[in-house]
A = this chain, B = another copy of it.
Amino acid sequence: MSKQSKLILDILENSSTYLSAIEIFQKAREVISNISLGTVYRNLKVLVLKNKIRKLSLNGDKDVFANLKNSHDYLVCKNCGKAFDLHIKNIHKVLSKATKKQFIDYNLTVFFICDDCKKKLVK
């Protein structure tokens, strides 16, 4: 594991929210000033495959990445794309049952219209 890879994992471990590849790249540059974006992408891919981090496609624009401790369930506004943590009770148990315990990870995105957008849309 290179120092670049360690740094990327560390950035995600210490983030309470998901980050895009470019955000990770920018944070990484503060430590290793010449780290390249290609290296960030390469390591993110490896870390996802090793199941050390998760890749999320919340609204499809671009992928974001998160550590395994953070929320797995998101409530996303269909209008503005803002995302909120959601905690679905027992979902782990439900998925274990449905997949006969063979699942590794999951992404759950639930769409709604947030209050701000509801107001705007009424106008």
Kindly state whether residue A78 has any CB partner on chain B within 8 Å.
yes
Of the candidates B63, B86, B89, B95, the one whose C-beta lies within 8 Å of that of A110 is B95
Number of copies: 2
Q: Which residues of B contact A103 (CB under 8 A)?
A: 75, 110-112
Encoded as 1 (CB less than 8 Å from any B CB) or 0, chain A from 29 to 61 comes to: 000000000000000000001010001010010
- B99 contacts A112, C-beta separation under 8 Å: yes
Of the candidates B55, B91, B95, B109, the one whose C-beta lies within 8 Å of that of A107 is B109
Q: How many angstroms between the C-alpha atoms of A50 and B89 in the bound complex?
A: 30
- B99 contacts A86, C-beta separation under 8 Å: yes
Shortest Cβ gap from A67 to chain B (Å):
16
Q: How many angstroms between the C-alpha atoms of A86 and B103 in the bound complex?
A: 12
Query: Which 5 pairs, one residue from A and one from B, show the smallest C-beta to C-beta distance?
Result: A57-B57, A106-B110, A105-B111, A107-B109, A104-B111
A interface with B by C-beta (< 8 Å): 49, 51, 55, 57, 60, 63, 75, 78-79, 86-91, 94-95, 98-99, 102-113
